[in-house]
Structure 1
Amino acid sequence: MDKFSQYLKMAPLTLDGGMGSELEQQNINVDNNLWSASALIQSPGTIAKIHQHYFDAGAQGAITDTYQAHVATFLAQGFDSHKAYELIDTAVHLAKEGLALSTQDDGLIIGSVGPYGAYLANGAEYTGDYHLSKQAYQDFHRQRIERLVQDEVDLIGLETMPNFTEAQALAELLETEFSETPAYLSFSIKDGNTLCDGTSLATAVGYFEKYAQIKAIGVNCTAPDNILTALQAIQPQTTKQIIIYPNAGDTYDPQTKQWVDDYGPIDWQELVPQWLNQGATIIGGCCRTTPKDIIAIKQAIDSWCRKV
């Protein structure tokens, strides 16, 4: 049995939180096309420390800093392919280092695979407004997934997927070329019922039920207010574990590549039990969430578990 499946027996699980915003707190400039992956070049030790802080906060899984770390992205920044692959290797190593430095005895290393829209670096992961053939999507994603698998991540995280066709292509790619590696699939949604490209969330979730390799399905990087509605759409359509990791509710401006702080404090103690009662089994945070948020999420999960 793969390590992810073993962990799922202990669900509910806690994931980590935002990386880019934590790097900004450490005065790392991520306002560029590489986004958080630029820290792989500027300050790799900071990434390891952030992973450590999340594990110390109670996270049971670390998402590698490879969301924007695609070979094509590095090539466009003037690096050669050898360096591009080396930087992906570095991201995985840093997640493992963070775990080793932490108070946790063990944890999951999740190889982040962001959508084609992230490569465009124009906010398209929040619109899904791009169109490639199935083959083109697979050709784009193959290199990074292959390297993450070679680096022995515990699972692949297909995250912030706004485009139904792209998600279909990725599921088929995993099944045909990386069948031994488990994965989860997490959509980017424009509201609680709809993918960013307009596809019904319920329809999308139901489609992937046939892919046993995808062990968990859900949503990420949406405001906490959307999560309960999304869970109500997801839960009837799947027998898989349900994964959710909302952002802090702020708004992303693709022109300035900055988050607009327009959302109040999040009451995790109130929200997390609602999400668990609606079927969520893997909960973490996305952009703008912090180790303090993960501590609160873990505490809310533990409190809920003691009561059920």
Structure 2
Amino acid sequence: MRSESMKVPLRRQAVLDRVAVLRSRTGRRYPCAVLDGGFATELERMGHDLSAGATGGEWSAAIVRTAPDDVQRVHERFLEAGADILTCATYQASTETIPAAVKLLGQAIDRMGIDTSTVLRAASLGPLAASLGDGREYRGYADTSVFANGTEAARCEFRRFHETRLRQCLPFLEETSSEMDRFESGAVSALDLVLFETIPDAVEAETITLMMTHEPAFENIPWAISLQCRPPQTGLEATTPSEPQLAGGGPVSSVVDRLLSLGFGRNSESDTHNGPLFIGFNCCPPSLIRPILESLHRCIHPLARQLTQPRSPVAMRNDASTVAVSSFAGWAVYPNSGEVWDPSTKRWGRPASAALDPSQESFWQHHVPEWCVLGASIIGGCCRVGPEAIRALTRVVHG
């Protein structure tokens, strides 16, 4: 085991700087970094059964054990498509599977001969809801026992779940050239950040934020969080008309304000050393992204206010100050394809209203300009958005 003096944690500012470099690369029409897409989607297209019965609840992570070459190939396809930010097949992984999944991403990057300084590598960690099954990450915890003993008990449960998996990622979040950290291909199996994804509940999101900003063991770990949202309430039951909500309830702008306050202090970005690198919104329909970004104009936190001033793409390209805020990279948006997941049949279906297909450039030509104007700095895809869709996105971003 290495001594403490040999450990060199990645600095979050270094990751922020790399996001800024990715966004401002020469030739980009829009100043955004490209995130990869739906990992499970591509594995299913390759013929893998990802049902709970077939994978033991690990979803795509199970294929890390049964067909690692296919997992590596999916990573390579997203790299070939032009993704700047790659995520490991760890979303629902067990603690035993996480290390192998991280190494497969490193092997894919190494095999393609890509300089690791030109991409970002993230451990994807899903919510407690995803481990419970039945699509609960799209509904929250209202019909579960998570909050049965009160909010504080729920916080403890969220903390235990996320900390256990996070600790499996820690060895890969250290910059080192030690031979002990090399695997068969010779590439260093490092990560750049941890991405907590599809978080449906405000208490869960707050618990993650407090853990990452107040726990000494994690104070140097670059991280980000992405929320699962639903359309605004309508009718008599609506409490905040016209604003999107978290899947488990609560106006998006209020939750984002709370996370920024916990991560950076209420009035200054210097009150903590480890707020989120960015806040994202994922696996909601593409049509919901614009209302989410527009709702962030209601935020009062200074960092949010800096990112919600509409600007033209030309102005954004010419103004370096819009590429990065010193301590916060902004908003990440990576919706699903617009198809609807039916938990009872375990199938996706495209509603008639979803006329645009993300595998076509027209989809991204329609969405990317308005998302960038509204503050998106990272754009990608989630479920049902495969490498061809990311390739189409990359072509639009590069103009």
Residues 257 and 37 of structure 1, relative CA distance in 2, 3 Å threshold: farther
Which whole-Å CA distance do the structure 1 matches of 2:227 and 2:162 have between them? 16
Which whole-Å CA distance do the structure 1 matches of 2:108 and 2:347 have between them? 27
Residues 261 and 34 of structure 1, relative CA distance in 2, 3 Å threshold: farther
Residue 138 of structure 2 corresponds to 126
- Partners of 2:36 and 2:390 within 8 A in 1: yes
Which whole-Å CA distance do the structure 1 matches of 2:94 and 2:294 have between them? 34
- Partners of 1:235 and 1:242 within 8 A in 2: no
- Equivalent of residue 227 in structure 2, options 187, 205, 211: 187
Q: Which amino acid aligns with 2:105?
A: A
- Alpha-carbon RMSD: 1.6
Residue 392 of structure 2 corresponds to 296
Which whole-Å CA distance do the structure 2 matches of 1:42 and 1:204 have between them? 39
TM-score w.r.t. length of structure 1:
0.89
Q: Which amino acid aligns with 2:37?
A: G
Residue 250 of structure 1 corresponds to 339
Q: Does 1:25 align with 2:36?
A: no
- Partners of 2:205 and 2:259 within 8 A in 1: no
Matches within 5 A, 1:21-60: 21-32=41-52, 33-60=57-84
Residue 288 of structure 2 corresponds to 226
Q: Does 1:271 align with 2:367?
A: yes
- Partners of 1:125 and 1:160 within 8 A in 2: yes
Shift of 1:103: 5.8
Which whole-Å CA distance do the structure 2 matches of 1:199 and 1:7 have between them? 33
Task: Work out which of the two has the higher radius of gyration on C-alpha atoms and give 1 or 2.
Answer: 2
Q: Match of 2:277, SS?
A: strand
Which whole-Å CA distance do the structure 2 matches of 1:147 and 1:163 have between them? 23
Q: Which amino acid aligns with 2:138?
A: Y
Shift of 1:256: 3.0
Which whole-Å CA distance do the structure 2 matches of 1:101 and 1:229 have between them? 40
Gap runs ≥5 in structure 1: 72-83, 304-308
Q: Which amino acid aligns with 1:209?
A: L
- Partners of 1:268 and 1:297 within 8 A in 2: yes
Which whole-Å CA distance do the structure 1 matches of 2:379 and 2:254 have between them? 22
- Partners of 2:279 and 2:331 within 8 A in 1: yes
Residue 192 of structure 2 corresponds to 154
Which whole-Å CA distance do the structure 1 matches of 2:204 and 2:211 have between them? 10
Which whole-Å CA distance do the structure 2 matches of 1:284 and 1:235 have between them? 22
Shift of 1:236: 5.2
Identity %: 29
As a proportion of its length, which structure holds more strand? Answer: 1
Q: Which amino acid aligns with 1:94?
A: L
TM-score w.r.t. length of structure 2:
0.69
Shift of 1:148: 1.1
Q: Match of 1:215, SS?
A: coil
- Residues 233-254 of structure 1: CA distance to partner in whole angstroms, max 9, x if unpaired? 2355325411010110111122
Gap runs ≥5 in structure 2: 1-10, 24-31, 148-153, 174-190, 232-242, 265-274, 307-327
Which whole-Å CA distance do the structure 2 matches of 1:34 and 1:163 have between them? 21
Q: Match of 1:91, SS?
A: helix
- Partners of 2:88 and 2:122 within 8 A in 1: yes
Q: Does 1:145 align with 2:169?
A: no
Q: What is the aligned length? A: 289
Q: Which amino acid aligns with 2:276?
A: I
Q: Which amino acid aligns with 1:112?
A: S
